[in-house]
Amino acid sequence: MESKFVQLRKYLAEAMDLLYVYELLSWDQQTNMPPEAAETRGQLSGTVERLYHLRVSSPELGQLLEDLKSEVENLDPDSDDARLYKVTLREYERRTKVPPEFVTELAETIGVAYSAWERAKSENNFPHFQPYLEKIVSLQRNFANFFVPYDHIYDPLLAIYEPGIKTLEVKEIFNALRPQQVELIRQIDSMPQVDDKPLHQYFDPQKQWEFGVEVITKFGYDWKSGRQDQAPHPFTVGLGHGDVRITTRIIPDYIGSALFSTMHECGHALYDMGIDLSLERTLLAGVKSLAVHESQSRMWENLVGRSLPFWQYFYPRLQKTFPGKLDDVSLDAFYKGINKVEPSLIRVEADEATYNLHIMLRMELEIALIEGSLEVKDLPEAWNLRMKEYLGLKPENDKEGVLQDVHWAHGYFGYFSTYALGNLISLQLWECINKDIPDLDDQFKRGEFGALLAWLREKVHRHGAKFDAQELVQRITGSKIDSAPYMRYLRNKYQDIYGF
């Protein structure tokens, strides 16, 4: 007779298959789907999401978990089986509080809302998206209320993406971080600005694509297990072992967009590609901390991709790829240009010093929407006021303001904070990495990234969702999520670049 854990893994395998089908439908919608298919795709996505929900909230799974309860008590709490039980139980308990009809309605709404957002953004027409977003916000409020009592109405939404962390905890981290970042920006603003004009000229889109492919191939992206496409908003989707896809966005007259979004998404993909095969087709392979995930993408994009050693290897190749474009631009000038600090309207184009302020702004607006203190119709004005307050800028239109991100169209309320948390985690890991690999910069100068990837595979990737963010960071660094390493990094980097 099969053991209960074998039965659990078999049961979860079909649930994961459904989850991957749902993700595949989403990938197709953002890359290939005909515009008129939005309503049909919403219905299809709703059906698949409902089937997944029913499977992970079924009495059969509940009985399996109950049968395993006594067995788990005798296991090493860090073993795969013990952690699988913990994560599955948490997902089961969360899902059993949510009616299947609600899951279907939310998925169908999101399926249509994404296409409405695409059109609204392209036409700079927030009123077109407004009714869809109003319904999504209403549904998210209803979702949160399935989990009464809670410490804060936002907690159930945050828990989807960052289990184990509460709204108050994130607010405390951000409240401590914000004044430090504002002061750093003030110091930078008092110094002569660096020149990034060479980045803002025509760069052949196909060559941009090819150069990005060269870079992430060096990083270790496995093209036999993945592919890259273009999308309005870059993203990564993991569909199980052997299928991890990325997307990028190319702007012909700005080389930084495709370059750094490709590196960013590659960082996500390397994480998914590195999950231990023993966890395949279980929740340990599919429901990971997004803060940890973002630590990987931000690490490869910024700590590697915006570093001087990286460009000591790649800059001559970039100059050769685009003859006549950067011939008179020194390595030092290029390095400073890609690290220019200047408040900007667009989050995905923001520099490292201002990026977290974009995240704090969005989280505050999300909380206000869910609490009911802000209505969707007033969102553009609230967005613009906070942009002025935080970054000293006011969007000229909603396309570069409230419509710029895809997350709300996907129903991703609770997601944004993970970007900033990921930044903090990336530097905590980075300090450990540099202690363990003291010649890391020299390796980058030679175009070698294997040692870094191997470290991340061992310490982070292989575990999948075995550990929550705070647990994993504590295990590796000895402390929970802490902003101090991040601020040390920013100060050192920008003191060097700006000379203050």
**Active-site positions?**
265
- In sequence order, what are the residues at sequence separation of 6 or more whose Cβ sits closer than 8 angstroms to the Cβ of residue 100? 50, 53, 54, 57
The Cα diameter of the chain in Å comes to 73
* CB contact at 8 A, 255 and 211: no
- In sequence order, what are the residues at sequence separation of 6 or more whose Cβ sits closer than 8 angstroms to the Cβ of residue 307? 441, 444
Please, which residues bridge with residue 237 across strands?
A: 245
Three-state SS across the chain?
CCCHHHHHHHHHHHHHHHHHHHHHHHHHHHHCCCHHHHHHHHHHHHHHHHHHHHHHCCHHHHHHHHHHHHHHCCCCCCCHHHHHHHHHHHHHHHHCCCCHHHHHHHHHHHHHHHHHHHHHHHHCCHHHHHHHHHHHHHHHHHHHHCCCCCCCCCHHHHHHHCCCCCHHHHHHHHHHHHHHHHHHHHHHHCCCCCCCHHHCCCCCHHHHHHHHHHHHHHHCCCCCCCCEEECCCCCEEECCCCCEEEEECCECCEHHHHHHHHHHHHHHHHHHHCCCHHHCCCHHHCCCCHHHHHHHHHHHHHHHCCCHHHHHHHHHHHHHHCCCCCCCCCHHHHHHHHCCCCCCCCHHHCCHHHHHHHHHHHHHHHHHHHHCCCCHHHHHHHHHHHHHHHHCCCCCCCCCCCCCCCCCCCCCCCCCHHHHHHHHHHHHHHHHHHHHCCCHHHHHHCCCCHHHHHHHHHHCHHHCCCCCHHHHHHHHHCCCCCCHHHHHHHHHHHHHHHCC
What does the chain come to in residues?
Answer: 500
CA 351/CA 342 separation, integer angstroms:
7
